[in-house]
Amino acid sequence: MLSKKEKALIAEIWESLSPVAEDIGSDALLRMFASFPGTKTYFSHLDISPNSSHLRTHGKKIVLAIADGAKDISQLTVSLAPLQTLHAYQLRIDPTNFKLFSQCMLVTLACHLGEDFTPIAHAAMDKYLSAFAAVLAEKYR
């Protein structure tokens, strides 16, 4: 459950990170590929080497979707509808991987924000990313 304060905090953080969406997104993806090599199996069609344009474009896409959802968390099921369909019927990424990506995103945020990634911000962000992942997987079955 996210409180009003947490929702505001989450929206604020993603608003501030949107200008560097490419950096944040590609960083999180690289961390995921390094720590959880099985996740690379979903990207055989892309060049996911550090700094590749594929990686940066894809990372940016993901971060902007997360940032967009953060603007009105109560409407996640509506705003994510197209992405739900995409993931359920085309991409069919096993939802366990969403957890792995989320963990790496939290590490990216910690590296990027340092002390500013307080326990409270961390808790709020973890809850948001879990909710995001859950909504994303809703149409799977």
Partner 1 sequence: MVQWTDFERATIKAIFAKIDSAVVGPAALSRCLVVYPWTQRYFGKFGNLFNADAIRSNPNVIAHGKVVLDGLARAVQNLDDIKATYAELSVLHSEKLQVDPDNFKLLADCVSIVVAAQLGKDFTPEVQAAFQKFLAVAVSALGKQYH
Residue ranges in contact with partner 1 by CB under 8 A: 27, 30-31, 33-35, 103-104, 106-107, 110-115, 117-120, 122-123, 126
- C-alpha span between 106 and 101 (Å, rounded): 9
Which residue lies nearer to partner 1 by CB, 82 or 114? 114
Which residue lies nearer to partner 1 by CB, 57 or 118? 118
- Quote the least distance from Cβ 62 to partner 1, whole Å: 16
Q: What is the DSSP string of 19-56?
A: GGHHHHHHHHHHHHHHH-GGGGGGGTTS--STT-HHHH
- Quote the least distance from Cβ 83 to partner 1, whole Å: 25
Which residue lies nearer to partner 1 by CB, 26 or 87? 26
Q: Which two tokens stand for residue 58?
A: 């894809």
- Quote the least distance from Cβ 65 to partner 1, whole Å: 22
Q: Which two tokens stand for residue 117?
A: 């990634």
CA proximity to 72, closest of 127, 24, 10, 116: 10
